[in-house]
Structure formats: C-alpha cells, structure tokens
Amino acid sequence: MQSLENLVGTGQITPEPTSVEEISGFLMRAEQQLNDARTTSLSAPSRFSLAYDAAHAFALVALRAHGYRPGRGLGHRMVVFSTLAHTVAAPAAEWTALVRYHTKRNSSEYAGLINATESEARDLIAVTGSLRDRVHAWLSTNRPNLLPGT
C-alpha cells in the first residue's frame, strides 16, 4: 500500500483543505445511510448499496480530515478505502473487505449484476459500523475541531 505522499505524487489524491461544514455533511449523510441499511424490510442488495455508500462517506471523511481529496482519475472511489490504514489506522481486514465490496458494488452498478447476498449485506453493515466508530474516535482524538458543534 502506498503512503499518502506517494498517492499525491501519482495524482490519486490531491491536497485540499476541508471544513467543519464539509465533514458534518458527509458524517450526517453516512449516518443516515447506515441507519437505512439496517432496515431489514429492505432487500439485501438495497441494504448493501446503502452500507457501501455510508462506508465510502466515512472513508472520505477520514481522507478529507487529513487534507486530501481523491483525484479525478480511474479508481477515485476506491482510493478512499485503500488509504484507511494511513488515515485512521484501520486494520487490513477492514479496508480489504471494503475494497472487495467496492469491486462487488461496481459489478452491480456498471454491469447490472445485482447479486449482493443477505450475508454480504450484513457483513458490510458490520464493517461500516466499525469504520464509523474508528473514524469518530480518530476525529475526537486528532481533529476534534472538525467535529460538528465544536
């Protein structure tokens, strides 16, 4: 895995300051999506999609809190997951699961293969909940000035 500085050099991420308003917006959206993903009356593919979007928003918060934004090239969505080890010290099992689910999401989104199982939806919801807790803890310790209401 490349360091954040190396990713800047390759154009996969670019430096850009963030704001409390931006972080608050992403956090609020991610919380809503994660809560909706836990709605068991929805189909597994819908819950998977909502959990994926929440995970992406939480991972984007982690990257933005470090003052970076994904580049505009190919893989701009996946880079936020692959940087989690650097941004919030996510364990490999967590960020590799998110990378794997990113690939699954792309096959659904771009190839029309809606094939997320109940088990995958539940697992992604659990991984996203763990990421949520990790991002909030990291922000509280390292960038409390970016948290809403501070």
State the pLDDT at residue 10: 87
- Is residue 40 within 8 A of residue 31, CB to CB? The reply is no
State the pLDDT at residue 1: 45
Parent domain of 65: 4-146
**d(Cα 2, Cα 7) in Å, to the nearest integer?**
6
State the pLDDT at residue 127: 97
State the pLDDT at residue 126: 98
State the pLDDT at residue 116: 87
Place of tokens 């990421």: 131
The neighbour count for residue 93, using CB atoms within 10 Å, is 10
Place of tokens 């969505």: 77
pTM above 0.75, yes or no: yes
The neighbour count for residue 51, using CB atoms within 10 Å, is 28
> Along the chain (150 residues), what's the average pLDDT of each consecutive run of 10 residues?
80 94 97 98 94 96 96 77 94 92 73 79 97 98 88
Three state DSSP letters for 98-112: HHHHHHHHHHHHHHC
State the pLDDT at residue 67: 96
**d(Cα 62, Cα 71) in Å, to the nearest integer?**
15
State the pLDDT at residue 2: 60
**Domain total of the chain:** 1
Half-sphere exposure of 16 (CA within 13 A, CB side): 14
**d(Cα 128, Cα 63) in Å, to the nearest integer?**
16
State the pLDDT at residue 44: 94
Q: What's 42's domain CATH number?
A: 1.20.120.330
